[in-house]
Structure 1
Amino acid sequence: MIFFFEVFLAFRLMLRAKLVWVAFGIVVVVLLATFLSSYFSGRQLATVALDVGVSTIRLLLPLLVVLLSQEVLFREFDKRYYLSSLAYPRARSALLLGRVLAMFIFIAVLLLVLGLLQGGLVRVIGGFYSQATSVALGKPYVIVLSFIALDLLVLVSLATLLAVVASTPSFILIGTLGFMLVARSYGSIVELLSREAGLVSNPEHYRTSLGGLGYLLPDLGALDVRMIALYGKMDFLPADWFWLLLSCLSYSFALLALSVWALQRKRLS
Structure 2
Amino acid sequence: MLRSFDFVTGLRLALRARYLWLAGCSLLVLVVAALLASMFSGRQPATVALDIGLSVMRLLLPLVLVLMTQELLSREFDRRYFLSSLAYPRPRYSLLLDRFLAVAALTLGLLLLMALLLALLVGLIGQGYVQGTPVALGLHYLVTIAFVGLDLLLLTALACLLAVVASTPSFVLIGTFGFMLLARSFASIVELLSRDASVVGDAKSYRAGVGLLGYLLPDLGALDVRMIALYGKMEFLPKDWPWLLLSSVAYIVALLALAVFALQRKRFE
Q: TM-score with structure 2 length normalisation?
A: 0.98
**Aligned counterparts of 1:20 and 1:33: Cα–Cα separation in 2:** 20
Written as runs of structure 1 = structure 2, the 5 A alignment for 1:1-269 is 1-269=1-269
Cα deviation 1:69-111 (Å, max 9, x = unaligned): 1100001001010111112211111000000001001111110
1:211 aligned partner, one-letter code = G
**Aligned-pair CA distance for 1:170:** 1.3
Q: How far apart are the structure 2 equivalents of 1:151 and 1:132? A: 31
Mapped partners of 1:230, 1:2: distance in 2: 45
Q: Deviations over 1:195-246 (max 9, x none)?
A: 1122223221111111100111000001000000000111111000110111
SS of 1:199 mapped into structure 2: coil
- State how far apart, in whole Å, the 2-side matches of 1:115 and 1:230 are: 14
Deviation at 1:114, TM superposition (A): 0.5
User: Identity across aligned pairs (percent)?
Assistant: 61
- Structure 2: distance between partners of 1:5 and 1:74: 19
RMSD: 0.8
In structure 1, what residue type is equivalent to 2:225?
Answer: V
Structure 1 letter corresponding to 2:150: L
Deviation per residue, 1:138-193 (Å, 9 max, x gap): 00100110000010011001100110011111111110000000000000110111
Q: TM-score, normalised by structure 1?
A: 0.98
Aligned length: 269
Q: Which runs of 5+ in 2 are unaligned?
A: none
User: Structure 2 CA distance, aligned partners of 1:135 and 1:55?
Assistant: 16
What runs of 5+ residues in structure 1 fail to find an aligned partner? none
Stretches (4+) displaced over 6 A: none
